[in-house]
Copies of this chain bind each other. A is one copy, B any other.
């Protein structure tokens, strides 16, 4: 029922890193200091640190110490997997919401959101760029069932915001991400928005974000003109 002690310590350390009490690039307290601080054995301290290693928040080096290499925000981008990392457009892309509306789900949207056709949904339409002010490389549409619940209201409010939605929403409690990738013709209106030829093909990435209980939070569809953007990912196998 109750959490293991090493997990409690790991959670606390994670919070400390998130809150900036341990900055990226600095060293965490040593094992023995953790033992004293939390009144645990060295083995338990090591287990706790192992959790953070697995989350790619720290790196350890014999004789040197325990280095903080990421905080939670970066973790959202990096720790699912190195592929997901890159599929999420790198850590530093910007989403500019162009308009927000309430829509009734058609067939396609109903399938994406897993709801009834005709359900009331909110729809955010935006453009994504690598940096604030730079030319957008991707059209991004975000959908959510319902318009009256608190999260939907907050989503409607960020209309026009120039920073990543993820940042605004602080959705650190995501449990699962489902992702479909396929190719599609780029709709004319989106081609005009992005300034690419009308008949371009595009890479379509549809993502569904679920909370830990399995309930869908939002769905997002991103369209990338195929010839102009390439997803590149490098994976290194663990050497035996």
Q: Which residues of A are in contact with B by a Cβ distance under 8 Å?
A: 11, 14, 54-55, 79-84, 87, 172, 174-185, 201-204, 212, 224-227, 229-240
User: Of B79, B180, B227, B230, which contacts A232 at CB under 8 A?
Assistant: B180
Task: List residues of chain B with CB within 8 A of the CB of A174.
Answer: 237
Q: Contact: B83 with A81, CB < 8 Å?
A: yes
Nearest neighbor of A72 in chain B, beta-carbon distance: B240
User: Of B11, B185, B225, B237, which contacts A80 at CB under 8 A?
Assistant: B237
Could you tell me the distance between the alpha carbons of A238 and B55 in the complex, rounded to whole angstroms?
Answer: 8
Could you tell me the distance between the alpha carbons of A82 and B204 in the complex, rounded to whole angstroms?
Answer: 20
Task: List residues of chain B with CB within 8 A of the CB of A84.
Answer: 83, 235
Q: Contact: A179 with B226, CB < 8 Å?
A: no
Q: Contact: B232 with A179, CB < 8 Å?
A: yes
Copies in the complex: 2
User: Of B11, B175, B181, B233, which contacts A237 at CB under 8 A?
Assistant: B175
State the Cβ distance, A208 to closest chain B Cβ, in Å.
9
Nearest neighbor of A225 in chain B, beta-carbon distance: B183
User: Of B181, B234, B236, which contacts A181 at CB under 8 A?
Assistant: B181
Task: List residues of chain B with CB within 8 A of the CB of A232.
Answer: 178-180
Query: Can you identify 6 A-B contacts, CB atoms within 8 angstroms?
Result: A83-B84, A176-B236, A179-B232, A182-B203, A182-B229, A212-B239
State the Cβ distance, A83 to closest chain B Cβ, in Å.
4
Q: Contact: B235 with A182, CB < 8 Å?
A: no
Could you tell me the distance between the alpha carbons of A144 and B80 in the complex, rounded to whole angstroms?
Answer: 33
Task: List residues of chain B with CB within 8 A of the CB of A177.
Answer: 234-235, 237
Task: List residues of chain B with CB within 8 A of the CB of A227.
Answer: 182-184
Task: List residues of chain B with CB within 8 A of the CB of A231.
Answer: 179-182
State the Cβ distance, A33 to closest chain B Cβ, in Å.
23
Task: List residues of chain B with CB within 8 A of the CB of A212.
Answer: 239
Q: Contact: A234 with B176, CB < 8 Å?
A: yes
State the Cβ distance, A240 to closest chain B Cβ, in Å.
6
| The 4 nearest A-B residue pairs measured at CB | A183-B226, A201-B201, A183-B183, A83-B83
Of A79, A184, A226, which is in contact with the most chain B CB atoms at under 10 Å from its CB? A226
4 A-B pairs besides A179-B234, A180-B231 with CB distance below 8 A are A79-B237, A174-B237, A176-B235, A178-B233
Q: Contact: B201 with A185, CB < 8 Å?
A: yes
